[in-house]
Amino acid sequence: MGSEEGGALKPAMQRRAILTGLLALPAIARAQPGFPDRPLRLVIPWPPGGTNDIVGRLATEGMSLRLGQPFIIENRGGAGGMIGADMVAKAPPDGYTIVLGGSGSLTLTALVNPRVPFDAATAFAPIGLIGEGPNVIVVHPSLPVRTMRELQDYARRANPPMAYASPGVGSTGHAAGAMIAQALGVEMVHVPYRGTGPALTDVVAGRVPLFANALAPMLPHIQEGRLRALAIAGARRSPAAPDLPSTGEAGFPSIIAATWYGLLAPSGTPPDRVARLHAALNATLADPAAQRRLAEGGIDVEPSESPDAFTRYFAEDRIRWARVVRGADMRVE
């Protein structure tokens, strides 16, 4: 085109351009008849007050504004997230009931518990990824190691084998410890606790030397010198601890043990409704205020490009953890 055509638009042309742009906006940005025309329900398969609760409520708070309908939050904890997830798996596939899923409730529970009443690979229609909570690998400061290579050398010489703590059998922390042992090529002893709090207490006290868990509750202890952090168990550094190397940088790229959070609907939910929920979620996650609040909770925002992209992520996560579970013979009896 010539330079005249490429110049400033005349007022009439500007109005037409603005109207065209508005018409081209995603459906989420315009009032729409139809779905949703009544309140929606988010099932959080964990008790109130934890990180899952914070993430789920923040995400649906923003989605509600964009969808024009409120979300009713229902906490259904128990059985490692299995009870709440099963409720949604069996709910009508109409897009009005969704679940906050994660690597604990949907991936690991399904892999280690033979009594899971649904097939996690087929029971849900993934909507979108919210983000990941990076796990950090820490040791008690009395241990003479400051890097992952030094940890490997120390664990190889340990007799009896080195122990690691976890929040419980079948938890992400249990699987993360098993993944570390496999990547280092060493034998380690699993010491399960009833939750992160008791495990952290004993690691800080020096009763168990190694722990891999979410960064947020560990950070104050790291900053005060009560724990020594070796690496972020992920593909990249965490903004919350930018000086700490990732496990890939430390020479162990196979150690990827972040806890992810995402939204899923029952399998069979119409694709157009899944797409509308995905658009509302991603618009929420693009809000700097939401990003800041999630970061304060130790979550790295990682929106998926589409529901299909989240479906692939979910499948790949399951494959990665399945190898760890088989190698460590992890089972919930």
Q: Tell me, what's the pLDDT at 134?
A: 83
Name the more confident of 10 and 185.
185
Find the mean pLDDT for residues 267-278. Answer: 98
pLDDT tens-place string over residues 79-103: 878 899 999 999 999 999 999 999 8
- Which stretches does DSSP call E strand in 50-123? 71-75, 97-102
Average pLDDT of the chain to the nearest whole number? 87
Total-model pTM: 0.78
The full set of domain ranges for the chain reads 39-132+259-328, 135-232
The mean per-residue pLDDT over the stretch 29-49 comes to 81
pLDDT tens figures, 140-151: 999 999 999 999
Q: For the segment 274-314, what is each residue's pLDDT rounded down to a tens digit?
A: 999 999 999 999 999 999 999 887 788 999 999 999 999 99
Please, which residues have CB within 8 angstroms of residue 313's CB and are 6 or more apart in sequence? Answer: 126, 129, 260, 304
Compute the distance between CA of residue 132 and CA of residue 52 in angstroms, rounded to an integer. 11
Instruction: Say whether pLDDT at 186 is over 50.
Output: yes
Closest CA to 175 of 261, 226, 235, 113: 113
Can you name the CATH fold of 135-232?
D-Maltodextrin-Binding Protein; domain 2 (3.40.190)
Query: How does DSSP classify residue 77?
Result: -
Residue 55 has pLDDT above 60, yes or no: yes
Homologous superfamily, domain 39-132+259-328: Bordetella uptake gene, domain 1 (3.40.190.150)
> Can you give the pLDDT at residue 89?
97
Average pLDDT score over residue span 54-79: 94
Q: Do 39-132+259-328 and 135-232 come out as alike in CATH topology?
A: yes
**pLDDT for position 33:** 56
Closest to 262 measured CA to CA, from 324, 219, 296, 312 = 312
CA quadruple 143, 144, 146, 149: dihedral, nearest 10: -100
Q: What is the mean pLDDT of residues 238-263?
A: 92
pLDDT at 309: 97
What is the pLDDT at residue 13?
36
